[in-house]
Structure formats: C-alpha cells, structure tokens
Structure 1
C-alpha cells in the first residue's frame, strides 16, 4: 500500500501526463487514492496504461482503472512463476526413493528417527525403516521400569 504522498507522486508521473487537459484537484486525487491506494505502483501503472490504450477517454475513469487493476492482480496470482526450478533439483518423492534404494540401513534408520519426530507422513516415506524405529521405541518403553 502506498502512502498518500507516494500515491500523489505516482499520480503526477503516470496519470496526469496521459491526460494533460484533465484538471485535477485534491478531492479527485483523494477519490483516486481511496479507490486505488492499496495497490502497488507497478500494477497501477499497467492498469492506467491499458485503460488509455483500450478506452482512450477524454479523462480517466476510476471504475475502469480499478477493473484493470483487479484483472492484472488476478492474472498475477494465477500466472506460473517466471523461473523454473533447476534441472538437477530432486523432488521429495525422488529423494525418498533414493533413500530406500541406495542408503545404508543405519543411515536410513537415523534419518527416519529424526523424521518421525516432526513429520506425521514419515511412515509413507520409508515404511520399513519407520516400522523398525517404532519397534525400537516400543521395546525401550517396555524395558523401562514403571515408577511407583
């Protein structure tokens, strides 16, 4: 969200030059700020530019600019990220498949012992190691004397 001062600066730089014959006063500027002040300058600039191209009015419309801003913001939320994950990045499923097939048993047990403390999906990742860890915990609990 922009401050009133930042919004006024943005408005002076981006809106007024596109409609030079349009007279703006404090009330008009306040109306624009109330309607659009919560959006960032980049999104607002795109919306004003698109409004000028699409509608080419004598003076800008808050309603039409707000509609453009909402469309731009919605598109930004649904658009996939611009950067792709690195090609050598391993997914969680691939990692656990690698653990189950190539890690030594002791390493699998150590990894599963730490995983089972905080991850409720640990049994799905390496069921064999998880069962072994659970059996060890059960055996240790059974061997402890009960305090009276």
Structure 2
C-alpha cells in the first residue's frame, strides 16, 4: 500500500492471480518489499505491476459473484512465483534488513547465477534470482505456428 508513483510498462496480456484471505497483508508485502506498483484497486481486488512488467492480480476470498474456483484462498502449496533481479545479493541484504523471513538462503545456482526465496503472506514461495547472462543474447522459444494467443 505504498504510495510511490511508478512509470510502469504497458500491461502484459498474461498474468498470475492469487485468491487470498490476507488481502491487505498481501498488497503490502508486494508493494513494500518487492517493488510492485498498484494500477487498480477496489475493496475486493487489486492489479499490481512490477517495473519489469510482471503483473499480479489479488482477489479477496469469498467475494460474491466469482466462479467457484475463485472463492477459496490459496494455501501456498503447488505454486511459486519467480522474479529475476540484477543483483540477488543486494536484494537479499535489503529484504533481510527489512525483516522479511527467508524461505531459502542466498545460494549459487547452475550457470553462475544466485537465488534465494521468501514466502508471501499466503505461504506462496517467491524465488528471487539473478541469472547469469551469456553475452546479452535472448533465448529462443518454440511456438506453434497456429498460436491463437499470439498478439
């Protein structure tokens, strides 16, 4: 519920949503600790956007008028989120100093990167990683030629 103003990228066509019993705690966690900005808010739902363009929707549990799959809050199992950063060590130090509890300590990963993890108020694992970049080259992805969701 940080009141900072962000210049955010355009909203992406794909994003993750969380149904939560801890609506305000979730909002505060992502805006205070993980640098998300609020682009839409109401008493029952939020749309948060990170400066990188990553989006997160947050829906209050037991909201009337929602499909039954969106009524019960997540319990933090079987789901994780990942956020790439330029300096995992600096983020680890910043979040530790802010009192955020670590789920995993800072560690080296295959390929020369580093990562650590925190849990959001819903128990969802948020992996924060610094990946080694080889020459700044992009990664190729295989996409169906009939990709109906391609913009």
The two structures have a TM-score, normalised by structure 1, of 0.23
Greater relative contact order: 1 or 2 (C-alpha under 8 angstroms, separation 6 or more)? 2
More strand by share: 2
Larger radius of gyration: 1
The two structures have a TM-score, normalised by structure 2, of 0.23
